[in-house]
Structure 1
Amino acid sequence: MRDDEILGRINDLVTEERELRRRLATGEVTSVEENQRIRSLEFALDQCWDLLRQRRAQRDIGEDPDYARPRPADEIENYQQ
């Protein structure tokens, strides 16, 4: 996946997350499934940002950014900010 494709995916995920949060805030939806979907979107966003950072780091050290691979969401969730 190229950087522009990752950024496009991030944009799509953010748009979906915002819309779902808006619907939850207004009471349009209240189910457990919507809350689970938000959590899923958060994981996917974390993975995309991590992959983009990996690709940029590879490029910065003169390596091929295509060597970067998505990491499991549970691994990314444990990173320190």
Structure 2
Amino acid sequence: MDEQGKAGGTDRRILDRISAMVDEERKLRAALSEGRIDQSTEQRELKDLEEQLDQCWDLLRQRRARTDAGEDPNQAGVRSVEEIERYES
């Protein structure tokens, strides 16, 4: 498999992880509406999920930018939530 194929597989795994977290977010909201968890639990867990989602999207953007620039996407790395927030503000 060439480097492009490997990069695509890694990107697919990141997208699969994002999809799983979005599903988890839906489950949390349903659990709250059904009274299975309280609002503070939902908010705490949603905050954790949102931070992980931000990191996944950031990593995917880094990988795509490196690929577009002809660089190795595998040199991209997960950045801290604080670092990502600085870029988003």
Same fold (TM over 0.5): yes
Deviation at 1:26, TM superposition (A): 3.5
Query: Unaligned 5+ residue runs, structure 1?
Result: none
Deviation at 1:32, TM superposition (A): 2.8
Question: Percentage identity across aligned positions?
Answer: 49
Query: Unaligned 5+ residue runs, structure 2?
Result: 1-8
RMSD over aligned Cα, in angstroms?
Answer: 1.8
1:60 is the counterpart of 2:68: yes
CA pair 79-24 structure 1, distance change in 2 beyond 3 A: farther
How many Å separate the matches in 1 of 2:87 and 2:34?
Answer: 33
How many Å separate the matches in 2 of 1:80 and 1:3?
Answer: 22
Count the aligned residue pairs: 81
> Which aligned runs of 4 or more in structure 1 are off by greater than 4 angstroms?
none
User: More displaced, 40-49 or 28-37?
Assistant: 28-37
Deviations 1:29-51 (A, max 9, x none): 10533321110000000000000
Aligned to 1:76: 84
Aligned to 1:39: 47
How many Å separate the matches in 2 of 1:76 and 1:25?
Answer: 31
Kindly name which structure, 1 or 2, has the bigger radius of gyration based on alpha carbons: 2
How many Å separate the matches in 1 of 2:88 and 2:15?
Answer: 23
